[in-house]
């Protein structure tokens, strides 16, 4: 896997998250006052942030387009999945 693709995937997972444990999802969890879930998502978010820092330190600013694209797509995916869940199961 190329370094750029790896950075893209880390940023995507950071925002959307494995099993929806990313930043966009954490915002919904916090708004809903789900304390335990908010705490658990913090560990996933910190792991992703550290990985992004490692990519930037190792490869430099050349990683920013990959990280930005992954983060943007992760946010849009989280929005779409959240909307689908709300439509299916209600608020």
Ramachandran bin of 17, using left for φ above 0, alpha for ψ from -120 to 50, beta for the remaining angles: left
pLDDT of residue 19: 43
Cβ atoms of 12 and 71 within 8 Å: the answer is yes
Residues 5-18 have a mean pLDDT of 76
User: What DSSP state is assigned to residue 22?
Assistant: S
User: What DSSP state is assigned to residue 20?
Assistant: S
Residues 28-40 have a mean pLDDT of 82
pLDDT tops 60 at residue 51: yes
pTM: 0.65
pLDDT tops 80 at residue 77: yes
């Amino acid at each position: 896997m190329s370094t750029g693709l790896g950075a893209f995937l880390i940023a995507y997972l950071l925002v959307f998250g494995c099993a929806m444990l990313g930043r966009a999802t954490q915002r919904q969890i916090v708004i809903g006052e789900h304390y335990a879930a908010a705490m658990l998502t913090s560990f996933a978010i910190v792991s992703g942030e550290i990985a992004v820092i490692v990519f930037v330190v190792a490869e430099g600013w050349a990683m920013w387009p990959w990280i930005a694209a992954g983060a943007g797509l992760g946010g849009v995916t989280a929005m779409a999945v959240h909307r689908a869940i709300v439509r299916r199961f209600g608020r």
